[in-house]
């Protein structure tokens, strides 16, 4: 109770407000202090609640008794009109010194009570805690899950080209992949199956990125006719490896994604969905339309085109398959002999193979570049 208030108000005239926190406990607070919170103020004025213990104002769930105490301390100080800016600032600076967990609770509680000055104060303090930290450090500080890599695995490939035929091909390959997966579930898994699976996945990413050969795409400024962009894509990894036997490889897919996140962020901070690099077609680059929902297009495809696309898919699959078996043998032999993760981090030999085949050479070996 501040001195000025004491001087002005006779003791028997002082009123209290009753507040109830979510745990059921009830507190009484000087009215002028409670009124400093917009939410409480509104409750009092609109509903008349709070004047007695039985009619205590229910506070939002985010306000527990300890935090309420802090908030009331804040209100008690700041509701006094005579204070100078400097005094207020000094109080704030001292007030804000608490552990991160409490600071979070306080921010959240202040927000639920709509106490904007306190929200700003605590938010700024949290911002200062976050600044300069690495993602790992931030996670530790706030006990946040490291769930981004899984997210990337599940995030669908996004094709950003505008060309409808490319999108059709995507749908087609997605369907093909699904079919193959279904087939696998019915049979024992064999090497051949995996090969197929991989090749279609690769096709998917292959086609997603490269479109130089597809008749669908208009090539424009590419003067280098003897260089095919998509050749670069041949080794891009699959994103969704649902085959149970590919656990280790899945991990590997995850690792480079996480790392790619890092790399990419250093470019700018971009989408995690780039285990496969999506390449713009010429059309896409100069087009300003970006459509993401292509769900219906495949179904509207006329049968003749469907057939043609089917043929193209078979063709691609055949060509890929011709080179695939040896490559896959390499991966598998590596996989069976040692921990692929170790290989990836550069401790094993022939990282070349693993990179090329599994992650499309996009990996940033995790322990290496620190």
Partner 1 sequence: MLRMASTFPEDVLEHVFSFIQCHQDRNSISMVCKSWYEIERWCRKRVFVGNCYAVSPQIVIRRFPDVRSVELKGKPHFADFSLVPDGWGGYVYPWILAMASAYPLLEEIRLKRMVVTDESLELISKSFKNFKVLVLMTCEGFSTDGLAAIAANCRHLKVLDLRESDVEDLNGHWLSHFPDTYTSLVSLNIACLVSEVSVSALERLVDRCPNLRTLRLNRPVPLDRHANLLRRAPQLVEFGAGCYTADLRSEVFSSLTGAFTSCTELKSLSGFWDVVPAYLPSVYPTCSQLTSLNLSYATIQCDDLTKLVSQCHNLQKLWVLDFIEDSGLEAVAVTCKDLRELRVFPSEPYGLEPNVSLTEQGLVSVSEGCPKLQSVLYFCRQMTNAALVTIARNRPNMTRFRLCILEPWTPDYVTGQALDVGFGAIVEYCKDLQRFSLSGLLTDRCFEYIGTYGKKLEMLSVAFAGESDLGLHHVLSGCDSLRKLEIRDCPFGDKALLANAAKLETMRSLWMSSCSVSFGACKLLAQKFPQLNVEVIDERDPPNTRPESCPVERLYIYRSVAGRRLDMPGFVWTMDGDAPLRLT
Residues 230-259 touching partner 1, rule: CB under 8 A, are 230-236
Query: x/- contact string, 85-124, with partner 1 (CB under 8 A)?
Result: ----------------x--xx-xx--x-------xx--xx
* 84: Cα separation from own chain's centroid: 44
d(CA 165, CA 205): 15
Return the number of the residue (50 or 360) whose C-beta is nearest partner 1: 360
Query: x/- contact string, 140-179, with partner 1 (CB under 8 A)?
Result: --xxxxxxx--x------x-x-------------------
Residues with Cβ within 8 Å of residue 194, at least 6 apart in sequence: 243, 245, 246, 328
State how beta strands 26-30 and 16-20 pair: antiparallel
Q: How many residues bind partner 1 (CB under 8 A)?
A: 91
Selected from 271, 342, 349, 350, the binder of partner 1 by CB under 8 A is 271
Minimum gap (Å) between residue 61 Cβ and partner 1: 9
CB 291 within 8 A of CB 253: no
Minimum gap (Å) between residue 23 Cβ and partner 1: 15
Selected from 277, 297, 341, 348, the binder of partner 1 by CB under 8 A is 277
Return the number of the residue (126 or 169) whose C-beta is nearest partner 1: 126
80 binds partner 1 (CB under 8 A): no
215 binds partner 1 (CB under 8 A): no
208 binds partner 1 (CB under 8 A): no
Burial class (CB in 10 A: 0-12, 13-18, 19+), 206: buried
Q: How far from 347 is each of 15, 290, 300, 335, 341, CA to CA, in Å?
A: 73, 43, 51, 14, 9
Residue with tokens 């260089």: 227
Q: Any bridge partners for residue 33, and if so which? A: none
Residues 305-344 that bind partner 1 (CB under 8 A): 316, 319-320, 323
């Amino acid at each position: 109770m501040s001195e000025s208030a004491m001087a002005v108000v006779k003791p028997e005239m002082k009123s209290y407000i009753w507040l109830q926190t979510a745990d059921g406990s009830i507190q009484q607070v000087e009215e002028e202090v409670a009124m400093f919170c917009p939410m409480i103020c509104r409750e009092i004025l609109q509903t008349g609640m709070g004047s007695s213990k039985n009619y205590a104002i229910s506070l939002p769930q985010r306000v527990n008794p300890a935090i309420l105490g802090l908030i009331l301390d804040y209100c008690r100080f700041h509701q006094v009109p005579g204070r100078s800016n400097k005094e207020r600032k000094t109080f704030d600076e001292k007030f804000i010194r608490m552990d991160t967990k409490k600071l979070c609770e306080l921010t959240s509680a202040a927000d639920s009570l709509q106490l904007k000055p306190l929200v700003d104060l605590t938010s700024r303090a949290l911002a200062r805690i976050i600044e300069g930290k690495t993602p790992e450090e931030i996670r530790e500080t706030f006990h946040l899950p490291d769930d981004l890599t899984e997210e990337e695995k599940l995030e669908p490939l996004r094709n950003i080209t505008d060309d409808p035929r490319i999108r059709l091909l995507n749908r087609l390959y997605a369907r093909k992949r699904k079919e193959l997966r279904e087939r696998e579930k019915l049979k024992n898994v064999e090497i051949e199956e995996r090969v197929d699976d991989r090749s279609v996945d690769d096709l998917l990413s292959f086609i997603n990125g490269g479109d130089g050969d597809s008749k669908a795409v208009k090539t424009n400024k590419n003067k280098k006719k003897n260089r095919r962009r998509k050749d670069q894509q041949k080794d891009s990894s699959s994103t969704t490896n649902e085959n149970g036997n590919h656990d280790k490889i899945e991990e590997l897919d995850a690792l480079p994604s996480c790392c790619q996140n890092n790399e990419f962020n250093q470019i700018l901070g971009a989408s995690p969905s780039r285990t496969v690099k999506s390449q713009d077609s010429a059309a896409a680059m100069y087009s300003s339309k970006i459509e993401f929902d292509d769900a219906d297009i495949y179904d509207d495809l006329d049968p003749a085109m469907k057939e043609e696309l089917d043929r193209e898919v078979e063709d691609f699959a055949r060509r890929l398959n011709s080179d695939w078996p040896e490559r896959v043998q390499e991966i598998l032999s590596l996989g069976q002999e040692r921990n692929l993760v170790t290989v990836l981090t550069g401790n094993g030999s022939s990282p070349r193979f693993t990179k090329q085949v599994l992650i499309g050479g996009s990996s940033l070996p995790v322990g290496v570049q620190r």
